[in-house]
Amino acid sequence: MQKESREIIITLIAGTIIFLLLGAWMLSFLFLYRNRHRKHQQEKEQLRLSYERELLKAQLEIQEQTFKNISQEIHDNIGQMLSLAKLNLATMDLSQPDRLEQKIGDSKKLVAQAIADLRNLSHGLSTDYIADQGLVRAAEHELEMIKKSGGYETVFLLEGTPYPLDKQNELIVYRIIQETLNNIIKHAASQKIIIHLRYRPEEFTLSIIDDGKGFDLTPLTNNSSFGLGIKNMHNRARLIGAGFQISSTLEQGTSVMISVPVGTPIT
Ligand SMILES: Nc1ncnc2c1ncn2[C@@H]1O[C@H](COP(=O)(O)OP(=O)(O)OP(=O)(O)O)[C@@H](O)[C@H]1O
Ligand SMILES: [Mg+2]
């Protein structure tokens, strides 16, 4: 009898211990799960914030670049044309009617060209420039501006039927075009610039190729003190799930390529 009740007590104690251990295990499991879940949520939130921050930064850089282009265009082209028209008007000699007609004609042409250029510029100032124009037109416009500045042969190639990418993706791609073209102007000393846009059902690719002096890519791979431009392009391409490649050969040129996978293209 005594033995039996001792066994019951032992079983009870063992049961309680197992129960407590199980409870403790479950509690710690729940605790760990909650912690991990919270950490995961925090990481997700941080990723979302850095994505939005990066988009905003790219948007501001596009604006900055656009203002730079516009001030240059006003200074170099429109300003020049209006100054010439003013000079024409100021030097009109009413006693020479035959030359008068020529000068009036020239001034008219200059003012008309200035108006047309101003109209183009004001389109570029639209708040949603890329959405309004579409990526193709925006890219072509960037290249035209460079061609107009002189000193470059430019080629614009379009393959496939264009479809809109995600708004954010277009913004990032456009910013990459601007930075790559800036780099060519700043560093490449090239004569030719090619922009190639390729729209395939499953993937959009952009290549920008120059025939300039090229550069050594090694510092890029060991993350040393290289400029921010290429690093930003690389990070931003990753942010939108795109591939980014840059290749360069000394004395031959550089090519930058970005490929954006596409879900179902809108046709
Ligand atoms: N198309 C190119 N041709 C020749 N060299 C280039 C070209 N693009 C980039 N480089 C070289 O790579 C370097 C890094 O370019 P990156 O855009 O990162 O920086 P950056 O243009 O010098 O400065 P930032 O873009 O920050 O104003 C440049 O300093 C230049 O030496
Ligand atoms: Mg740069």
Residue partners of 210: CB distance under 8 A and separation at least 6: 184, 188, 190, 192, 193, 194, 253, 254, 255
Length of the chain: 267
Q: Is residue 89 within 8 Å of residue 108, measured between CB atoms? A: no
Ligand nearest to the CA of 188: 1
Q: How far is CA 122 from the centre of its chain?
A: 21
- Ligand 1 pocket test: pick from 183, 228, 245, 246 the residue with the most ligand atoms within 8 Å of its Cβ: 183
Take atom 27 of ligand 1 and give the residue whose Cα is closest: 229
What is the DSSP pairing of strand 253-261 with strand 153-159? unpaired
Residue 263 lies in a domain: yes
pLDDT of residue 67: 85
Ligand number nearest to the C-alpha of 233: 1
258 falls within a domain = yes
Q: Is residue 32 part of a domain?
A: no
Instruction: Print the domain residue range for 213.
Output: 152-267
Helices 97-124/2-73 angle, 10° precision:
180
Residue 258: predicted pLDDT: 97
Domain count, the chain: 1
- Strand order through the sheet with 253-261: 153-159, 192-199, 203-210, 253-261, 243-249
198 Rama sector, left if φ>0, alpha if ψ -120 to 50, beta otherwise: beta
Identify whether 161 is part of a domain.
yes
Q: What confidence score (pLDDT) does residue 117 get?
A: 85
Contact at 8 Å (CB) between 76 and 189? Answer: no
pLDDT of the residue at 16: 92
> What separation in Å is there between the alpha carbon of 247 and the centre of ligand 1?
13
pLDDT tens-place string over residues 226-248: 678 998 999 999 989 999 999 99
In DSSP terms, 206 is beta-bridged to 197, 258
Task: For residue 243, report the phi and psi dihedrals to the nearest 5 degrees.
Answer: -90, 145
Residues of the chain with pLDDT under 50: 265-267
pTM greater than the 0.85 cutoff: no
Among protein residues, the one with the nearest Cα to ligand 1's atom 17 is 229
Give the pLDDT of residue 125: 67
CATH of the domain at 248: 3.30.565.10
Contact 215 CB / ligand 1 (< 6 Å): yes
Q: Is 114 inside a domain boundary?
A: no
Does residue 229's CB lie within 6 angstroms of at least one atom of ligand 1?
A: yes
DSSP 61-77: HHHHHHHHHHHHHIIII
Give the Cα separation of 146 and 63 in Å (integer): 17
Q: Is residue 49 part of a domain?
A: no
